[in-house]
Structure formats: structure tokens, C-alpha cells
Amino acid sequence: MVVIFRKKLWYRVWLLCIREARILASRPLYLFGMIIAPLFTALFFLTLMGKGLPQDLPIAVVDNDNSAVSRRVVRQLDAFKQTKVAMKYANFQDARRAMQEGYVYAIFYIPDNFEKDVMASRQPKFSFYMNNSYLIAGSLLYRDLRTISVLGSAAVAKEFKTARGQTEDQAMTELQPIGVDTHLIGNPLTNYSVYLCNLIIPGVYNIVIMLLTIYALGNELKRNTSRVLLRMSNNKMFVALFAKMFPHTLIYCSVITLIDVILYKFMQFPCALGIGSMLAASYSLIIASQSLAIFLFGLLPIMRLSLSAASLISVVSLSISGFTFPVSEMHYVLQCWSNFFPLRHFFLLYVDQALNGLGFEYTWHIYLALALFLFLPLVVMKSIKRVYLTYKYIP
């Protein structure tokens, strides 16, 4: 008896899955959202940040001295990988205008009589001005401009010291008695592509997944097929939901597998625990996002309202998950609130697994948090069923 019942149950699930697969194939939006959108995102961000660090950022130089020494400094600056001396101006006003108009991201200023003052030990001063409305460009150029200033100063100091009878070695160690030796855990190149793509691509997919899940549930109402769905599942909402979502999950998981292969195998992004760990994290993210979307739909069963809510919430998840601006620096309320976003937990998993190489004994609670999202649909199961049975679509 029990065996027959079980067979029947799985047979129903099978029929429902087939039905869902037919729906997925019939609407081009699913093709777009499930497959084209994530692959396009991957293509976009990987080609946009191709080299990982912006190179040859344009700066302006105002060289009021125009001596052999100052010109050498400018040439050396131009030779830096990230800096390109794009323009030379005769006065500061013009350079400032160029910066306002966005042609250059920084200005390097060499004062009058620079060479003379160096020779006469009058301590001339380099000035550099960064445009930090473009934060990445500004920060990167700050590093180069500061280095050239320190190096320029050091070169002169070395001359002075050797003139006083010190050996070159002595002079060099004296110039910088304490150095800083930096080790970046997991991302040794400070590569922006590694830093952003690993999270932005799943992040955008996470948005699309939430919207498509609600779309799929809402369309049953809009097309007036919700009662068919329930009849096919023998009036069991859980069976209906499970069978409806299962084909989606399969497709999402295969697409994210492809993306992870591109990121960690093809692009060779650092992944300390191996690609398997990131696949586990990605699958958990997908299932948690779907569950959250079902929950939102249960709360607001009018499709366009739940879609609006989901789109507003999911866009925020990119900021609040903390990979642009760290959560630890946010307000306490937001720190708590960030836990309600699956992407936040995915980010934590990524940091621990791919960058820090920490195993399951350190990450189990994050997986647990993602697993808790699975209970959300159970909360709204009844109300979805009621809506599916009674609601009549009003355009």
C-alpha cells in the first residue's frame, strides 16, 4: 500500500516537472534570465576588468621648473605602470580645469626653481592633487605619486650622503630604516577583477533568480493555471512547490557550475579550498535565494507588488553584503539586517573558503544560516495555497 502511494507521489512529481519544463521552454524570458543574463554578466565584468588593475591612468603635469631634473622626474613617473602623463600644462589653472572636465585624474605640480632649490638645500616641495570623485583611480594614482615623491627625495639624499663620504649601501639603508613587507592573504595581486567578479556575477544572478522565481509563481495566477497545478499535485502545496521549483534549481545550478568553472579553472582566480567548495557555496546561495523569493511571494501574492519588493530588496543585497564597503563599518542595525540577505552569507563563505582557505569547521555556521532560509517557504505555504485556490487575477 505504502509502496504504491510512494510510486504515485513520485509519478506526480515527475509529471509536474515535465509540465514546468514545458513552461520554461515556452517563454523566452526564462531563457534570457536563466542562461543569457548570467553568462552576459560574466562576459561583461571579465572583459571590463580584463587586466585586473587599471593601467595608464591619465594625469596632468604642471612643470614650472622645466629643468633637466624635473623632466627626468616626469619621465620616470610616466614609466610607472598605472600612470600616464597625458598632458602638460603651463599653469595650474588649466590643469585644474582639465581635472574638472574629467580628462585627467590627478595633477603633479613641480614648483619654480625646483632644481636650483634642490642644489641649494632649500627643500623644494612636490605637490600632487588627486580627484577622488573617481575613488579607484584616485587611490591608485596616490600610490604612484607618493612613490615618485619619496623616490625623488631619496635619490637626492643619496647623492648628498655619498658626497659626504658614505658608501652607497650605507646611504640606501639609512634612507628607509624601516620597511613594510606586505602579504595579502588569498589575493596577492590586489587584483580588482578577482576582488569583484567572484561576487558581482553570482550577485547579479541572485537578483535574477529571485525575480524569476516570483515570476514563475505569479504566472500561475495570471494564466489561471494555479488550480491545475494543485490538482496535479493532489492538493499538496508542498509537492506542487517542490516540483515546480526543481527544474529551475537544476538549470540555475548547471549555469552557476559553468560560471565557477570559468572563474576558477579558466581564469585561474584564487580558490584556496578548490572549486568544489565554491560550488557548494553557489548551490546553497541559489536554493536560499529561491526560498526567500517564495517567501516574498507568499507575503505579497500580487505578482507586480512582490516583484517590485523583490527587485528593491535584491538590488540592496549587492551593497549590504559588504564586498564594496565592509559590513563591520556599517551601522549596527544594518549589520543585523545584512544577515537576512543570502548574498551576505555567500560573501562570507567566499572569503573563508576561497581567500582564507578555512574548512568546514569554520564555515558550518554560515551554511547553517543559508539552510535556515529553506524554512521560509514553509511559513507561507498555507497562504500561497489559499491564494492559488481562490484568487482571481485582476490586471
Partner 1 sequence: MSNKSFKNIIKEGIRDSFIIWKEEFRNVIHDAGVIIFFIVAPFAYPLLYCFIYDNEVAKEVCMVVVDDCNTPQSREFSRLCDATRDVRIVGKASNMEEAKHMLREKKAYGIMMIPSDFSKKIVRDEKTYVVLYSDMSSLLYYKAFLVTLTDVSLEMGKDIQIERMAGLSNREQEVLTAPIEYEDVTYFNPQNGFASFLIPAVLILVIQQTMLMGIALLSGAAKDKNTYRDLLPIQRHYRGTFRIVFGKSLCYLMIYSVVAVYLLWCVPIIFSLPQMGDGFAILELIFPFLLSCIFFSLTIVSFVRDRESSFVIFIFMSLILLFLSGISWPASVVPWYWKSISYLFPSTFGIQGFIKMNTMGATLNQVSFEYTALWIQTFFYFIGAFLVFRWQIIRSEKIYRKNKHV
Comparing C-alpha atoms, which of 218, 354, 183 is closest to residue 294? 218
Q: How many Å apart are CA 25 and CA 135, to the nearest integer?
A: 44
Classify 272 as helix, strand or coil: coil
Sole window of 254-262, 277-285, 286-294, 304-312 interacting with partner 1 (rule: CB under 8 A): 304-312
Closest approach of partner 1 to the CB of residue 90, in Å: 19
Q: How many Å apart are CA 52 and CA 30, to the nearest integer?
A: 32
Cα–Cα distance list, 211 to 76, 101, 186, 332 (Å): 52, 39, 33, 29
Q: How many Å apart are CA 287 and CA 290, to the nearest integer?
A: 5
Q: How many Å apart are CA 51 and CA 343, to the nearest integer?
A: 26
Which residues from 284-303 bind partner 1, rule CB under 8 A?
Answer: 303
C-alpha cell at position 340: 537576512
Does residue 181 belong to the site contacting partner 1 (CB under 8 A)? yes
Q: How many Å apart are CA 383 and CA 10, to the nearest integer?
A: 25
Closest approach of partner 1 to the CB of residue 88, in Å: 17
Pairing status of strand 57-63 against strand 106-110: parallel
Does residue 41 belong to the site contacting partner 1 (CB under 8 A)? yes
Does residue 208 belong to the site contacting partner 1 (CB under 8 A)? yes
Comparing C-alpha atoms, which of 88, 137, 132, 136 is closest to residue 108? 88
Sole window of 8-16, 27-35, 249-257, 375-383 interacting with partner 1 (rule: CB under 8 A): 27-35
Among 9, 24, 35, 44, binds partner 1 (CB under 8 A): 44
At which residue does the C-alpha cell 574548512 appear? 359
Q: What angle do CA 44, 49, 54 make, to 5 degrees?
A: 150
Among 16, 57, 95, 369, binds partner 1 (CB under 8 A): 57
Among 6, 14, 25, 55, binds partner 1 (CB under 8 A): 55
Does residue 326 belong to the site contacting partner 1 (CB under 8 A)? yes
Contact mark string toward partner 1, 339..368, x via CB under 8 A: --------x---x---xx-x---x------
Does residue 112 belong to the site contacting partner 1 (CB under 8 A)? no
Cα–Cα distance list, 334 to 13, 62, 86, 328, 350 (Å): 40, 45, 43, 10, 20
C-alpha cell at position 130: 588627486
Cα–Cα distance list, 13 to 4, 253, 319 (Å): 14, 19, 38
Among 80, 215, 264, 346, binds partner 1 (CB under 8 A): 215
Among 26, 47, 91, 167, binds partner 1 (CB under 8 A): 47
Does residue 105 belong to the site contacting partner 1 (CB under 8 A)? yes
Does residue 369 belong to the site contacting partner 1 (CB under 8 A)? no
Total residues in contact with partner 1, by rule CB under 8 A: 114
Query: Which is closer to partner 1, CB of 1 or CB of 178?
Result: 178
Closest approach of partner 1 to the CB of residue 85, in Å: 13
Sole window of 232-240, 251-259, 274-282, 314-322 interacting with partner 1 (rule: CB under 8 A): 314-322
Q: How many Å apart are CA 122 and CA 115, to the nearest integer?
A: 10
Which residues from 119-158 bind partner 1, rule CB under 8 A?
Answer: 121, 123-139, 142, 145-146, 149-150, 152-153, 156-157
Sole window of 15-23, 192-200, 247-255, 372-380 interacting with partner 1 (rule: CB under 8 A): 192-200
